[in-house]
Structure 1
Amino acid sequence: MSPSSRLASASLGVSLVAALVGCSAAGPGGSETPSRTTATSAPPAGATSTPSPTPTDDGAAAPTGTPRVIATGLDLPWSLVRLESGATLVSERDTALVKEISTAGDVRTVGEVPGVAPGGEGGLLGLAVSPDDPTSLYAYTSTSSDNRVLRIDLTGDAGGYGLGDAETVIDGIPRAGNHNGGRLAFGPDNMLYVTTGDAGNTANSQNPDSLGGKILRLDPSGAIPADNPFPGSPVFTLGHRNPQGIAWDAAGNMFASEFGQNTWDEFNQITAGSNYGWPTAEGIAGNPDFVDPLVQWSPRDASPSGLSYADGTFFLAALRGERLWTLDTTPLDPSAVPPTASFFEGDYGRLRDVVRGPGDTLWLLTNNTGRSPRPGDDQILEVDLG
């Protein structure tokens, strides 16, 4: 489907102007988005250091013990998706291969995603599987001209999965050497959510006619849901720089992780129609036209990518920060900053993704190949939750 079929430019432009003028961003049903004015004890203006994190509450889930190696030898892996069969699929950015990880940790190639043109931070990025149709695999891909989402027939069974026919769900998402977004996830409403980066052009994020710098919401066929905040548009939220993680808590509240530029990375609560400020705002700005992050970090401590939720805790994979962050958002109090803590700092290098593993475990995906690989890289690690 073409970009023009996805955007009703005139009506969206009017809607976005109205959204930007309002004094606060509205969530679903018109409720106001909780505003945050501090995050991990935000330092004075101009400071670049991040204060020591506050440990999570005793009742929140946290990693325990030493991670175990599940699989090794992956090449620039980007996304993990676990299947009902117990198998796990992983995407490799530059090879455009989808690989299957068995319950025993064996690695086999499922197939190559068509039309991928890797380069810079682009290539085969996020994967997701429809909760209503386990034979529908969704892939975020960079082509020679754009980023797009494909739906691919997932054939076979555990131990023998293959890739069948592919069709375009949405195209025309700006691509560049960096800031390609790329995360896919199905929400509690069974709608497909897509994170897109500004593709190195900061104007995309506030531009109503651009799919860049947004979180998009589509039904599994690629059609635009009638209850999207901007009629006729896949845009769910705007004002993003490079979001790469989305997840929902047990109550259905949506959250996202986002790369900042030089000052602040962000953890945001996401509500329909809201504007997150980029490029005008990076981190907590106190600007009533934008939604402030719940938590912010210096990029050297985070550079956040994959995000997952389990047992009252969000888990965030950090690339440059080379660690796993935890965030406790329960109870979500508009006047409070979620307690945070970090784990495995520097132990395994860059972490690209984190998902719930079998039983009470987490699976972590390293992302060191192409930069500073370690023996066995790249790897999938399993750690117990306690």
Structure 2
Amino acid sequence: MRAWITLAAVAGLLLYSGCKKSSSPNTPDNPGDTSELTDKVLTDKLTFPWEVLWGPDNKLWITERGGKVSSVDPVTGNITLIKTISEVVSRGEGGLLGMVLHPDFAATPEVFVAYNYDKAGNYLKKIVKFTYSGGTLINPVTLLDNIPAANNHNGTRLAISPDKKLFITSGDAATSSRAQDKDNPAGKIQRINLDGSIPADNPIAGSPVWSYGHRNPQGLVFVGDRLYSSEHGNATDDEINIIQKGRNFGWPNVQGYCNTNDEKTFCSANDVAEPIQAWSPTIAPSGIDYYNKDAIPQWKGSLLLAVLKDSELLQIKLNSAGTGVEKVNTFYKNKYGRMRDVAISPDGKVYIITSNGGSDKVIEIRKAP
């Protein structure tokens, strides 16, 4: 093990341990070098896709907000419908959203999805587990229900931890006060067992709440046992956060870093965790994945972030400890429009879905031949 550590890593470790910095300048976004990359459109026949992930069948699994779960052949671009979930109600940015597959899919072919629906006139979100059989999804089991939803601020990205717990992001559903209310599931990151039960070691006994004070977290990825999330700010301070058990992430009392007098007071009194990266003005960050392949060496050890408002893919190079950001590079700005999510294949190709509402695309990026 090295006996030295960079200043950036020291700063990150202090932050991760809960020490407060008064402020931190944004890492500038620099144009990334695409000379050794090649990009192409696999298909342009999607409508508001939300999730893309690499499946165990070597296909891309995708959700669309209108209720479709489909697979895309990364060789031909052909789309195969797996399931249309009829209960889904899509309003604004609501609908069929996050999805994740069981990590032991061959033995346990379970598919976890999150979607909005109408319940007696109330717009809500539920988490449902399906079984994949015969090319479709069967036997739905509701794991978690009655999560507030709205036309926006639904969050809703899913991830499964190495110890097989399901993590769920939920936005404040356009009511900011919910984020600080530990009894309200909105504005939270929740953690449940894969059967829907509540883990005994959750911060609050009998509650799925894992962290709180979130506005609209739309990205979630595990790197080992460390959980990273991307989150929409309001007029300022979009964020990348390291999610920690039981921690308060500040919204609506804190935006970004604890750097105003009121924020410093609230942060000190409420053990607020600060982001490792923030952007002002906002960029509208969405899905993230972690690149640790050799195929595109310049991206190794980086979070890849799909960006909506600024219509780009960001490479967020982490420090060696994974606790801070060394640099941010931007790729394909304004080339494909709004980018919603990103996935990585086992051989190091990168796949991006757009969110433009018409002829939405799957884009493949690989090292140039």
TM-score band, normalised by shorter chain: 0.7 to 0.9
Aligned residue for 1:239?
A: 213
Residues 38 and 337, structure 1, Cα contact 8 Å, conserved in 2? no
1:63·1:383 contact (CA, 8 Å) conserved in 2?
no
C-alpha separation in 2, matches of 1:64 and 1:197: 38
Distance 1:37 1:333 in 2: 21
Corresponding residue number in structure 1 for 2:51: 79
8 A contact 1:99–1:108 mirrored in 2:
yes
One of 236, 241, 250 as aligned partner of 1:268: 241
Post-superposition Cα deviations, 1:194-220, rounded to whole Å, max 9, x if no partner, equal 000100111110001100000001111
The TM-score, its normalising length taken from structure 1, stands at: 0.80
Secondary structure, aligned partner of 1:283: coil
Aligned length: 330
Cα distance in 2 for partners of 1:64, 1:179 equals 37
Indicate whether 1:360 and 2:348 are aligned: yes
The verdict on how the C-alpha distance between 1:34 and 1:221 changes in structure 2, with shifts beyond 3 A counting, is farther
Distance 1:226 1:180, change over 3 A: same
- Distance in 2 (CA, whole Å) between partners of 1:197 and 1:279 is 12
1:291 alignment partner, one of 251, 262, 273: 273
In the aligned structure 2, how far is the partner of 1:378 from the partner of 1:124? Answer: 16
Cα distance change, pair 36–98 in 1 and its aligned pair in 2 (3 A): farther
Aligned equivalent of 2:230:
257
Equivalent in the alignment of 2:362: 380
Q: In the alignment, which of 188, 194, 197 is matched to residue 214 of structure 1?
A: 188
- What is the SS of the residue equivalent to 1:223? coil
Shift of 1:252: 2.3
Shift in Å, 1:337 = 4.1
TM-score by length of 2: 0.84
- In the aligned structure 2, how far is the partner of 1:233 from the partner of 1:221? 15
Matched with 2:82 is 110
Residues 159 and 222, structure 2, Cα contact 8 Å, conserved in 1: no
Alpha-carbon distance, 1:298 to partner: 2.7
Partner of 1:316: 305
Partner of 1:140: 114
Where does residue 29 of structure 2 map in the other structure? Answer: 53
Change (3 A) 1:193 1:315: same
1:138-175, CA deviations, whole angstroms, 9 ceiling, x for partnerless residues? 1110011311111111113xxxx212121101001111
| In the alignment, structure 1 residue 155 sits paired with structure 2 residue 97 | no
Matches within 5 A, 1:177-196: 177-196=151-170
Deviation at 1:33, TM superposition (A): 3.4
Conserved in 2, the CA contact under 8 Å of 1:357 and 1:382? no
1: distance between equivalents of 2:220 and 2:127? Answer: 16
Look up the SS of the partner of 1:306 in the other structure. Answer: strand
List 4+ stretches of structure 1 deviating above 3 A: 31-39
Residue identity matched to 2:349: T
CA distance in 1, matches of 2:353, 2:322: 31
Question: Matched residues in 2 for 1:54 and 1:230: separation?
Answer: 42
Q: Give the counterpart of 1:327 among 290, 313, 316.
A: 316
Asked if the contact 1:38/1:294 (under 8 Å) is kept, the reply is no
Residues 319-369 of structure 1 deviation map (CA, whole Å, 9 limit, x = unaligned): 0110011112232376x5432111111011000000112512111111111
Deviations 1:98-150 (A, max 9, x none): 11112422102111114111111110001111113451111110011311111
Identity rate of aligned residues, in percent?
32
Q: 1:68 deviation in Å?
A: 1.6
Structure 2 vs 1, CA of residues 184 and 73 (structure 1 numbering), >3 Å: closer, same or farther? same
Q: Unpaired runs of 5+ in structure 1?
A: 1-26, 43-50
Q: 1:345 aligns with which of 333, 343, 360?
A: 333
Aligned counterpart in structure 1 of residue 71 of structure 2, from 84, 100, 106: 100
Give the whole-Å Cα distance in 2 for the aligned partners of 1:384 and 1:38: 37
Q: CA RMSD in A?
A: 2.3
How many angstroms does 1:260 deviate by?
A: 0.5
